[in-house]
Amino acid sequence: MMGRLKVGIILGGMSSEREVSLNSGRNVYDNLDAEFYEGVPVFMDAQGGLWILPWHLISQNTTRDITERLKGEARRIAYEDLKKEIDFAFISLHGKYGDDGCIQGLLELLRIPYTGPGVMASALGMDKHLQQKILRAAGVAVPESLLVREEEWRQDSQIVKDRVKEFPGYPCFTKPIREGSSVGVTVVRDEADLERGMEDALKWDRAVLVEEYLEGREFSCIVLEEEGQFHPLELTEIHPQSEFFTYDDKYMPGRCRKFTPPKTIPPDVTEQIKAEVIRAFKALGFRSYGRIDGFILNDGRILITDPNSSSGMAPSSFFFEQAACAGMLPSMIITTLIENAIRIHEAKQGPL
């Protein structure tokens, strides 16, 4: 058992998605191949502090349950001491400070290799407005949208209402520009909905993306980078129970049906979607792996709606469903991610 790579599984965090992160990190820890890797659970608390968890705390139900026991049962470490504890970081954080380049920047300074893209690509993967601008410039189709900053809304909400009515029009969505898991998202059908949607979104960020309402079938696809090549896994077709793919639909059992491979998307269209997924992945500078979500509209157009620089890794996630279609057990796909990321970091010049 000597010589195993110490893999720090960073979980919890400071974002609205901390519970999702806990589930992802717990599952990664449980499926890490113990023959080659020593799992080191690194819990980030709500203030950004790092703690090395004993194994029995990982099984706690919520981040609050863990937090209440940190001082008595876990070991606090300084950021600069992280390199003494781990050789490699498996980032299981989601949302702000985890998907957006913050933790990636820290790991770059500490010279610790990690899963997923680097600082800039992670930041782009989190910012819905900027990623749409880059994808449009690269010729990748994305939804029509309008950015509304908080000061515009506070100064004269009627001007904003008039703009939204004209473009993109009703129905539409309001979304915080830097949140995941459908947090703060509202379906808007009239001015009253717009007021509610703007206020809900502004609880999470200082700018809101007003985006056109899409009619069609939703999909998700994991992309792996292996030795400079980009390989999409099998496509997942999503049938949420709600009007859109809400937080509950994503994480509550029985709230959504997922078909991997797709149930109603023909094989030739699936291949077209995968080609667009790869284009989006490359345009945003993603590395290692990522998850690209989108829609095949009723008129046949393919739109990329939500490129993610990482992916949830709970047992029933898209990630493991798609890996299973490729004949890969959870431990196998986790090992693949670690090995690929190490090769990528060994070959980089400067920060990833």
Among 10, 165, 176, smallest CA distance to 86 is for 10
Structural tokens at position 66: 């863990």
d(C-alpha 149, C-alpha 155), whole Å = 10
293 is in an annotated binding site: yes
- At residue 208, φ and ψ (nearest 5 deg) are -125, 135
Which of these is catalytic: 15, 24, 181, 182?
181
Which of these is catalytic: 15, 16, 92, 317?
317
Name the strand (E) or helix (H) holding 175: strand 172-176
Query: Exposed, middle or buried, 219 (CB in 10 Å: 0-12/13-18/19+)?
Result: buried
298 is in an annotated binding site: no
Evaluate whether 308 touches 293 at the Cβ level (below 8 Å): yes
Active site residue 17: yes
Query: Exposed, middle or buried, 105 (CB in 10 Å: 0-12/13-18/19+)?
Result: middle
Name the strand (E) or helix (H) holding 64: helix 63-67
Q: How far is CA 303 from CA 2, 263, 306, 338, in A?
A: 49, 19, 9, 30
Which of these is catalytic: 16, 17, 288, 310?
17
d(C-alpha 178, C-alpha 101), whole Å = 12
Binding region:
293, 308
Residues identified as active-site = 17, 181, 317
Binding region for Mg(2+):
293, 308
